[in-house]
A and B are shown apart, each in its own frame.
Chain A
Amino acid sequence: QLPPGLYKKVLVILHDSILPYMNEPTLMMDFLTVAYGIGGAISLLALNGLFILIHQHNLEYPDFYKKLYSLLDPSIYHVKYRARFFHLTDLFLSSSHLPAYLVAAFIKRLARLALTAPPEALLMILPFICNLFRRHPACRVLLHRPAGPADMSEDPYVMEEEEPSESRALQSSLWEIRSLQNHYHPDVAKAAAVLNQSLSEMEDDISGLLELSAAELFDREVKKKAVDVPLEFEQVRGLFGKKNDIFAEHFSLD
Chain B
Amino acid sequence: SNPFEVKVNRQKFDILGRKTKNDVGLPGVSRSKAIKKRNQTLLKEYKEREKTNVFKDKRFGEYNTKITPEEKMIRRFTLERQQNYGKKNIYNLNEDEELTHYGQSLAEIEKLNDIVDSDSDTEERGALSAELTAAHFGGGGGLLRKKVSSEQQDEEEEKPKSRKELIEEMIAKSKQEKQERQTRRESALELTEKLDKDWKEIQTLIARKTPKSERKDKEVEKPKPDEYDMIVRELGFEMKAKPSERLKTEEELAKEEQARLQKLEADRLRRMRGIDEEANKKRPSHMSADDLADGFILDKDDRRLLSYKDGKINIENEEEKGEEGEEEEEEEGEEGEEGDHENEEESQEESTSEDEEDDAADGHSDLESDLESEGEAAENKEEEKDKTNENESQNVEKLDPKREAAKSELPYTFGVPESYETFKSLLAGRTIEQQLIILERIQKCNHPSLAVGNKAKLEKLFGFLLEYIGELATLDLPELRTIDKLVLPLYNLCQMFPEAASDSIRFILRDAAHDLEEVIEVKGHATLPGLDTLIYLKIVSLLFPTSDFWHPVVTPAFMYMSQLLTKCRITTLQDVIKGLFICCLFLEYVSLSRRFVPELINFLLGVLHISLPKSQAQGYTVVHPFTPLGKNLELLLVCDKEDLKSWEKQNVPLSIVTRLKEASRTEINHTRLSCLALCFDLIKKCAALYESLPSFHEIMHPVRILLTKHMPVNEYPEKMQEWYHSALKELESKVKHYTPLVCEKKKPVPLKQYTPKIVKVLEFGRKQAGSKKEQERKQLIQRHKRELKGAIREIRKDNQYLARMQLSEIMERDAARKRKVKELLGSLATQEGEWKAMKRKK
User: A residues within 8 Å of B by Cβ?
Assistant: 73-75, 77-78, 112, 115-119, 142-146, 148-155, 159, 173-176, 178-180, 182-186, 189, 196-198, 214-215, 217-219, 221-222, 224-233, 235-236, 238-242, 244-247, 249-254
Contact = CB atoms under 8 A, between A and B. Distances in A.
B550 interface: yes
A253 B549 contact: no
Lowest 3 A-B CB distances belong to which pairs? A226-B552, A148-B740, A175-B694
Contacts of A198: 743, 746
Interface in B478-530: 480-481, 483-485, 487-488, 490-491, 494-495, 498-499, 501-502, 506, 509-510, 513-514, 517
B566 interface: yes
Interface of B: 261, 264, 267-268, 271, 274, 281, 283-285, 287, 293, 295, 480-481, 483-485, 487-488, 490-491, 494-495, 498-499, 501-502, 506, 509-510, 513-514, 517, 535, 538-539, 541-545, 548-553, 555-556, 558-560, 562-563, 566-567, 580-581, 584, 587-591, 593-599, 601-602, 621, 623-624, 650-655, 674, 678, 681-682, 685, 693-699, 736-744, 746
Nearest to B488: A236
Contacts of A231: 284, 494-495, 498, 543-545
Given A75-B623, A239-B484, A249-B651, A119 B491 contact: no
Contacts of B737: 151-153
Contacts of A115: 598, 695, 698-699
Contact of A183 (B509, B545, B596, B736): B596
A217 B295 CA distance: 39
Nearest to B495: A231
A28 B778 CA distance: 73
Contact of A238 (B485, B623, B654, B699): B485
A57 B491 CA distance: 68
Contact of B743 (A143, A151, A219): A143
B744 A196 contact: yes
A216 to B, nearest CB: 10
A197 B652 contact: no
A217 B559 contact: yes
A189 B590 CA distance: 14
Contact of A247 (B550, B584, B601): B584
B218 to A, nearest CB: 62
Given A73-B621, A148-B740, A229 B544 contact: yes
B264 A222 contact: no
Contacts of A251: 581, 584, 651-654
22 contacts: A116-B601, A154-B736, A155-B697, A178-B693, A179-B693, A179-B694, A184-B595, A217-B559, A222-B513, A229-B499, A229-B502, A230-B268, A231-B494, A231-B495, A236-B490, A238-B485, A239-B542, A241-B487, A245-B588, A250-B651, A251-B653, A253-B484
B355 to A, nearest CB: 34
Contacts of B563: 214-215, 218
Contact of B510 (A189, A222, A247): A222
Contacts of A150: 739
Contacts of B567: 214
Contact of B544 (A149, A230, A246): A230
Contacts of A218: 510, 513, 556, 559-560, 563
A155 B631 CA distance: 36
Nearest to B682: A246
Given A175-B694, A238-B488, 17 more contacts: A112-B698, A115-B699, A175-B695, A184-B596, A189-B595, A215-B513, A222-B506, A226-B499, A229-B553, A230-B271, A230-B548, A236-B487, A236-B542, A239-B542, A247-B581, A250-B584, A251-B653
Contacts of B595: 182-184, 189
Contact of B621 (A74, A142, A182): A74
B509 A184 contact: no
Contacts of B293: 235
B561 to A, nearest CB: 9
A142 B480 CA distance: 52
A81 B490 CA distance: 44
A240 B652 CA distance: 13
A239 B535 contact: yes
Contacts of A242: 541-542, 588
B491 A233 contact: no
Contacts of A235: 287, 293, 295, 491
Contact of B556 (A197, A221, A233, A241): A221
A180 B562 CA distance: 15
B560 to A, nearest CB: 6
A145 B746 CA distance: 15
Contact of B480 (A148, A149, A249, A253): A253
B624 A197 contact: no
Contacts of B281: 227-228
Contacts of B498: 228-231
A119 B738 contact: no
A233 B746 contact: no
